[in-house]
Amino acid sequence: MIGLKIYSVPKNIEDFFEKIKSINVDTLFISKEVYSSKEFVFTLKIRKITFYCIFQVFYNPSYLKVNPSAYSITERGEKAIDEWVHFVCPSDNKYKEYLIGEVAYITEQIKPTGISLDFIRQFIFWEKVHDVSSERLIKSCKCPRCRDKSPSKEITNTVKLFSSFIKKSQPDCIIGLHSVPWKEGEFNNGLLEIAGQDLNKLGSYVDFISPMCYSHMLKKEPNWINQVVKDHKNRSQISVIPAVQVKECYLSNKLNKSELKEIIIESIKKPSGGIILWSWDYIVDSEIYNWLNVEFRDLFFDI
């Protein structure tokens, strides 16, 4: 798979499809804003493009604005808010019922190739965690409903709930899950104990795992990507397809051409099932498109 995440509808849809074809992208991961565009979805179907709807689960600031009692609560007793990151409590059944309605809309009306479950974890702004002493490494949800449960219990239950609903509603729908890119033991076993993503169990409910291997913002070398892929594969026993960052984000130092080339090379090394570029919004109208289209062309031949 050579995938691409896209978060806003391209201004010129035909031009967009020509451009992604030229860089060998064969699968799109589209946000709610994009799959809400009837014109865009219609074009995807006409062109028979493989596409996944990115479905955001416990990250939902607009819902929380109207339903503030649904906030996840951290071990410091505060609402789960860190800059733009606002999380719902994973035991909130009313919220999960509401989400099932949203999933039903996707499987019944859009019928995508697949659904990519995003933010299906406990609250953590992991993109800004660089070492184990980070103040961001706090546990949640510690509301009265969740207090005595392990961090992963309701996350696993929610994945199971959505997975069985999706497979019943649209049996051919492929399910992916976005994971926090932490290896076993890292950050005091943070993937399990803080993010609540128990890959050993989740591998039974989804078809592939996509760790968000945004190496540059995490201050990691590109070869770290392959280590995360191996770790996630060992734990989940299913296909692992890393999502990678193509442009700098949160940090001011530039992600240059040679680093991006290394990132791509490391992403597609075995046992990876492909690569997902994050995101078109960074590639369009930038020199990165030219790198992918001309200078890195040969890299994709083996996928």
Instruction: List residues near Zn ion by CB under 5 A.
Output: 89, 91, 141, 143, 145-146
Q: Which among 30, 140, 126 is positioned nearest to 88, based on CA atoms?
A: 140
DSSP letter (8 states) at residue 68: G
- Minimum CB separation from Zn ion for residue 185, in Å? 26
Task: Give 75 or 221: the residue with its C-beta nearer to Zn ion.
Answer: 75
Task: Give 89 or 228: the residue with its C-beta nearer to Zn ion.
Answer: 89
Task: Give 44 or 89: the residue with its C-beta nearer to Zn ion.
Answer: 89
Q: Is 8 exposed, middle or buried (0-12, 13-18, 19+ CB in 10 A)?
A: middle
Side chain identity at 141, as an amino acid letter? C
The helices-and-strands tally (H runs, E runs) of the chain is: 12, 11
Task: Give 40 or 87: the residue with its C-beta nearer to Zn ion.
Answer: 87
- Minimum CB separation from Zn ion for residue 146, in Å? 3
Side chain identity at 197, as an amino acid letter? Q
Handedness of CA 167, 169, 174, 176 (dihedral sign): negative
- Minimum CB separation from Zn ion for residue 63, in Å? 15
Side chain identity at 39, as an amino acid letter? E
Residue given tokens 């992403």 in the structure block: 267
Residue given tokens 């499987």 in the structure block: 107
- Minimum CB separation from Zn ion for residue 180, in Å? 19
Task: Give 139 or 145: the residue with its C-beta nearer to Zn ion.
Answer: 145
Task: Give 143 or 173: the residue with its C-beta nearer to Zn ion.
Answer: 143
- Minimum CB separation from Zn ion for residue 82, in Å? 17
Task: Give 18 or 75: the residue with its C-beta nearer to Zn ion.
Answer: 75
- Minimum CB separation from Zn ion for residue 188, in Å? 21
Mark 218-235 as b/e (b = at least 16 C-beta within 10 Å): bebebebbbebbbbbbeb
- Minimum CB separation from Zn ion for residue 145, in Å? 5
- Minimum CB separation from Zn ion for residue 207, in Å? 28
Task: Give 85 or 265: the residue with its C-beta nearer to Zn ion.
Answer: 85
- CA–CA gap between residue 206 and residue 57 (Å, rounded): 15
Omega of the bond prior to 173 within 30 degrees of 0, cis?
no
- CA–CA gap between residue 92 and residue 194 (Å, rounded): 18
Query: Rounded to the nearest 10 degrees, what angle do helices 13-22 and 38-46 cross at?
Result: 40
- CA–CA gap between residue 136 and residue 55 (Å, rounded): 25
